[in-house]
Structure 1
Amino acid sequence: MMNTRKTFLAAGQNSRRKYIDAKHLRTCSITNGGKKSSPTGRAPDLGTLNKWFGALQQIQRRSAAASGYFEQAVRQICDPGGLEAGRIYLREHGRWNLLAATDDFSYSHVGKERPFLDTLLEERQLCFHPNSLDRNLLKRGTSVVIAPLLDKGGEIIGALWGERRVHTGNRRLGIRQLEARWLQLLSETVSAALIRLEEERRHANTRLLLEQVFPNEVARQLTTHRDLLAGREREVTLLFADLKGSTKVFEQLKPEAAYELMSELMEELTTAAMQEAGVLIDYFGDGLAVMWNAPTDQTEHALAACRAALGMQQAMKQVNERWREKLTFPLRLGIGIHSGPALVGNSGSRQRIKYGPRGQTVVLASRLESATRMLDAGILVSGETVKQLPFWVGLRRLCTIRIPNISEPVTVHELCAPDESDMPADEVAFVRRYETALQLFEQGDHGEACCQLAALEEDPLSERYSVRFLSEHVTAALRPGPRRRHNDKRRDQLSDPAILFELK
């Protein structure tokens, strides 16, 4: 006798049970008190088989998450399966729980079914209990077949239970082999549906986590194209934003209120970035960093970053309005935007993965954010980013600066408006006058530049568009060498139009 065949000992001494393994149907003779049992009837005909497989196709097309899925599956045990009762059990936290049933338990109770279900756990494959079971467990003449429900790892997570009972109009005393096989096929179908459901839940949880960092479309692509997270060089636009003067906030507010304010601020900044399909890189200190054009292509990534920056500044006005009774000064935000190549991928470690960029582009974007304090500007945009912007974006070219450890000078612009046509005419004229003075300074005509800047400083719009930084440098350029501004001491020559920045 093959090792795969097993015989179950019945609770009664004169009873035997059949066993059917997953590969072969094997039965032993059925006896009751030394008498051969009645036949179980002829095999199912072709019409019955067609109904069985048609029902399988119907249940295979449905999701386990669909309403009424398990009720439909358990009904198929009886119709077209031909058994009198069907149940579906799930095993959770070491207990069997009834999920769906076709009967009202007039023939058995959950407690009496447990020994058979526990036997399934031990045998780990289809169990076939034919007629004439111990009357103390199930009603005399009841036949039972139990098929396991398996998870992705092959562990038993539930069971399908089918019964045939002797009653008027049904003279079969047992369950036929093909009927047992039918229940097994049905259990495999339900198992596959449960596995799909678990995978769907896992993917949904993964996507939910991704959507907390990535825009919806990027999160969707990441769930299907995991190679997008691999390190690769890409053209990106980066935005760094930080709260100016945050120390004063913590000095003026109690810790709980300061924490509440910072949480509200981060929520507003994050929303502004996500609305423009930005990818959140990280939170740091009292600010955040956002990236565009990675991991997926974004054709207008520079423009999207600028729109996000303007959205952040607008959100700051709303935050200030809500907190004006608790703060004696308005909150101000410094934002730096730069476009360039970066190596994008896991910028963290193997123990703690963090998706983000690395390289000089990151350094420049961060330095531009720091420069907002010295230039007294809200949003600074590099020349590389400006090259990718439409001509109609409202910008003011502030100056060209040299940053320590960066070989090439950086042209810096102030972002004024999403569209220059939205700016008042007097503001546009003020910006043009400033840019003329800047050009004079870069050409070495410091005297005329100084005169024009002095006139601009008298204009009330200088409160909105600061000219102080350039004016101080022009004035310093007119003085003798030793009296020049400390920031200019390492310029290669006085006529160098690029201003050396000493950022801390």
Structure 2
Amino acid sequence: MLQLAIYDTDSHRFQQAPLAPRGVVLLMSGEGWRLVDPPADGLKGPWIELRSTDEGVRCRVSADPLFTTEVVTPTGPRALVPTDRLTLPVRLACGTTHIELIEAPPAEELKPLMTLERRASQREERSAGPLGNGPAPATLTRWFEAVATLSRWSVGSGEFWQGAASLVIDPLGFDAAYVVERDPATDGHDGWRVLAANITRPELGIGLELSRLNAVIDTATTQFDNALQHDGSAWAIAPWRDEQGSLAGVIVGVRKRHEANARGAVRHLEANLVRLVADVVTSGVVRHAHERRAARRQTLLELAFSPQVAQQIESDERLLDGARREVSVLFADLRDFSRRFHHQTAAGLGPVAAYKLLSEVMDALSEVVVARGGHLIDYYGDGLAALWNAPLDQSDHVVRACEAALACAEALEPISTEWLDRLGGPLGLGVGVHTGSALVGNVGSRWRIKYGARGETMNLASRVERATKTIGVSPIVSAATVQRLAASGGDHFHTQRLCRAHLAGIEQATDLYLLTSEADSSQLGMTASVYAAALAAFEADQLEKASRLLRDAVQNTAAGFLARCVERSRNERQGRRVADRPDAVGAIISLVEA
């Protein structure tokens, strides 16, 4: 099989591919030579066409005065003429680019390489004769300094692979060096790819005989020539490995016979040094894999947590372990967005605009949560859930959660104003907060971290948020949050008890409170004192008194909601005997269907 190799001495770019039966065209582009199918006629830019015929290799070049191609011969370069029929091996030079076409020898014709043991036997050392003489101390010092430099480079940088190839050249003294990668998905003895090359004597040959590399697949040990091959070359091939310890590639050093080469074959020490380069490459590859995995882990953490929290978790991953903690949980949900989405989509808002609006809302609410140290658990439908005091301790978690609850409405106002004309009305938001014990931890996977809480605290917080829709006010907090708020320095908040209610899925009745930042009765629909008196009358079964106090209640307020509850209770009482009436003291409002 004919093998085509291309090497640029300036950029060290190396390409190699088998020659197709029809031949190949090398087309010069901005990124170097590209291999295209013949014929070359009509192509723009400098080109070289190579084709194997019975009379030899036919070579054509484009007519370009700035593009000179020479034939490299043992006696020196000469100009290429159109009538040339070249014999193998064909070597061409075009500026800094060298091109070679050779026939790869069958594997059975290659002289077997010697396997490098961890320490050469005394017999091998004696038989090595003059080849056993080691390099000068200054050479070794320079070489190990270069190895240390390579070990500091990152595999992700372009200089790492080229640096590994350069180490084999200088000061080790090989004429050509290759860093070759093996495709792990390839079976058999195919799939080698050159990552970097450094060739100091391209006129002696640049092609890499891949069949020589295959012996390493079976032995996974360093191989070398302690005597020259029939073509006057000597090879050293050392494997490098991936994170799992599998063969990932090889480092290849090739020495050619020429007047400046007094070393001839590869010495045992030189083979060991090539193996050391391969070991450094292995260390770099493994380190890079660890760094990439750590970076992916960090990215996953920062997708789930703020950068500050992610950094602490990176230092102590036990923070993600399951634990029971007291947390404050916030649920927020856009009011009637699903209904309005479908209506407005039909009316012309369109899904793109609708999702743009939803994205703006979620972005604003998320910023509110993160700015107050909260952890975003997830986005649910048209809203989100967040918690405080996990995974890191926050002694003021209830204060943070309540501040976020109030800030959510403020963050929504500019968005609502911007979209008012297109929506036909303002955006509404329901926010609920509950504080309690929950089981927290990572409920995700290695592909996606999902840190959250489970248990009744989460359910109750969700139901509190849902109650905002029925009662008509927001934000609403639970009695547990109010009690914890009083003990946590939350004196700047105002709370107004709205009612005691049965919530869906919650066994015990819950006292619900309206949360405000100041004494604001606008959502109550009346003064706080009158509302409190009406609620007390209702819970004491004094329905007539409660009805009188609520006769001026404004709809779509807490007072309007309480007035409806009073009226419903009065209607249910009519026609019943006193003995059949339930005990209404401490009346509980059912929000199970809310």
Do the two structures share a fold, i.e. TM-score over 0.5? Answer: yes
TM superposition shift of 1:335? 1.3
Correspondence for 1:326 among 422, 428, 431 = 422
Q: One-letter code of the match for 1:171?
A: A
CA gap of 1:393–1:431, structure 2 versus 1, over 3 A, is farther
The equivalent residue for 2:343 is: 251
Q: TM-score with structure 1 length normalisation?
A: 0.77
Q: Does the C-alpha gap of structure 1 residues 206 and 350 become closer, same or farther in structure 2, counting only changes over 3 Å?
A: closer
What is the rounded CA distance, in whole Å, between the counterparts of 1:167 and 1:66 in structure 2?
34
Deviation at 1:354, TM superposition (A): 5.1
- Alignment match of 1:436 (pick from 513, 529, 548): 529
Distance 2:522 2:460 in 1: 30
Does residue 398 (structure 1) correspond to residue 494 (structure 2)? The answer is: no
Residue 304 of structure 2 corresponds to residue 213 of structure 1: yes
Say which SS state the counterpart of residue 480 (structure 2) adopts: helix
Across the aligned residues of Structure 1 and Structure 2, the Cα RMSD in angstroms comes to 4.0
Decide which moves more: 187-196 or 245-254. 245-254
User: Does residue 249 of structure 2 align to residue 158 of structure 1?
Assistant: yes
1:182 maps to which of 273, 283, 288: 273
Percentage of matched positions with identical amino acids: 31
C-alpha contact (below 8 Å) 1:337/1:380 kept by paired residues = yes
Aligned residue pairs total: 466
**Contact kept? 1:437, 1:449, Cα under 8 Å:** no
- Kindly report which structure 2 residues correspond to 1:245-284, keeping only aligned pairs within 5 A, or say none: 245-246=336-337, 247-254=339-346, 256-257=351-352, 258-284=354-380
Comparing both chains, which one has the higher relative contact order based on Cα–Cα distances under 8 Å and sequence gaps of 6 or more? 1
- Contact persistence 1:398–1:438 (CA under 8 A): no
2:289 to 187, 190, 198: 198
C-alpha contact (below 8 Å) 1:12/1:133 kept by paired residues = no
Distance 1:299 1:288 in 2: 23
* Distance 1:105-1:194 versus aligned 2 partners, 3 A rule: farther
C-alpha distance 454-427 of structure 1, shift in aligned 2 (>3 A) = farther
TM-score, reference length from structure 2: 0.67
Deviations 1:70-118 (A, max 9, x none): 3333333234434344332233465333333333660566653322233
- Partner residue, 2:168: 77
CA contact (8 A) 1:243 1:334 kept: yes
Deviation at 1:145, TM superposition (A): 1.0
- Report the secondary structure of 2:130's partner residue: coil
Contact 2:524 2:531 (8 Å CA) reproduced: no
Q: 1 CA distance for matches of 2:142 and 2:515?
A: 70
Which of 45, 68, 73 is the equivalent residue of 2:159?
Answer: 68
Conserved 8 A contact 1:130-1:143: yes
Report deviation, 1:244: 1.5
In structure 2, the residue matched to 1:4 is: none
In 1: Cα distance, 2:446 partner to 2:252 partner: 47
Q: Secondary structure at the match of 1:373?
A: helix
Instruction: List aligned pairs for 1:12-161, cutoff 5 A.
Output: 15=111, 17-21=113-117, 23-25=118-120, 39-40=130-131, 42-66=133-157, 68-92=159-183, 94=186, 95-103=191-199, 106=202, 111-135=207-231, 140=232, 142-161=233-252
Task: Give the direction of change, closer, same or farther, for the CA distance of 1:124–1:41 in structure 2 (3 Å limit).
Answer: closer
Quote the Cα distance in structure 2 between the aligned partners of 1:148 and 1:120: 7
**Equivalent residue, structure 1, for 2:44:** none
Q: Deviations over 1:311-363 (max 9, x none)?
A: 43334334333433432222211111111100123558999985422221112
Distance in 2 between residues matched to 1:289 and 1:471, nearest whole Å: 31
Residue 79 of structure 2 is matched in structure 1 by: none
Rounded to whole Å, the distance in 2 between the matches of 1:469 and 1:214 is 39
Larger proportion of strand: 2
Q: Distance in 1 between matches of 2:204 and 2:371?
A: 59
Structure 2: distance between partners of 1:428 and 1:218: 38
Cα distance in 1, alignment partners of residues 276 and 376 from structure 2: 47
Q: Which amino acid aligns with 1:150?
A: R
3-state DSSP class of the match of 2:385?
strand
Is the deviation greater in 145-154 or in 121-130? Answer: 121-130
Please state whether the residue corresponding to 2:131 is helix, strand or coil.
coil
- Please say which structure displays the higher CA radius of gyration: 2
